[in-house]
Amino acid sequence: MIKKVIDSNLISRKEIEELVSIDHPLFSFKYLQKQSIENCTDADFFRNFIFRLKKLSELGWNEIRKSDRHSFGMEKIPYYKIRPKSQLPEFITPDAEFCAFRATGSNLPFLGIQSGKIFYIVFIEISFGDIYEH
């Protein structure tokens, strides 16, 4: 697969080697569910959330795994605790385990699924208990 990508000239071998060696998380909003944020009008929340993502990216996965869950670490949230199941993307099955990070210093979480270095953000909890049972 890597050879095929290199041969296509879409990405160089050096770029692939850099991607393989990175430790920082790559955040994706591809599967973000709108019901988790559509009623939020708190611009400060989103500003603080962006700074949280920046800090997590600077720490890297190794440091995140060492950190406390109420700091910059994460915790596992089983599928059965998620409330809006009917709106989950199809690839998320009952055996999936979400990871929760704190979105801001107020301990409101954002949840998603990690696949390699990519963390797919699925929910951002604006009010405690909107997304999962705490």
Q: What is the mean pLDDT of each run of 10 residues along the chain (134 residues)?
A: 61 66 84 83 89 91 87 90 78 89 86 90 88 82
**Can you tell me the distance from the alpha carbon of 124 to that of 48, in angstroms, rounded to the nearest whole number?**
13
- What is the per-residue pLDDT for 2? 53
- What is the per-residue pLDDT for 43? 87
Entry pTM: 0.79
Residue 107 tokens read as 């301990």
- What is the per-residue pLDDT for 38? 81
- What is the per-residue pLDDT for 128? 83
- What is the per-residue pLDDT for 17? 59
**Can you tell me the distance from the alpha carbon of 46 to that of 23, in angstroms, rounded to the nearest whole number?**
25
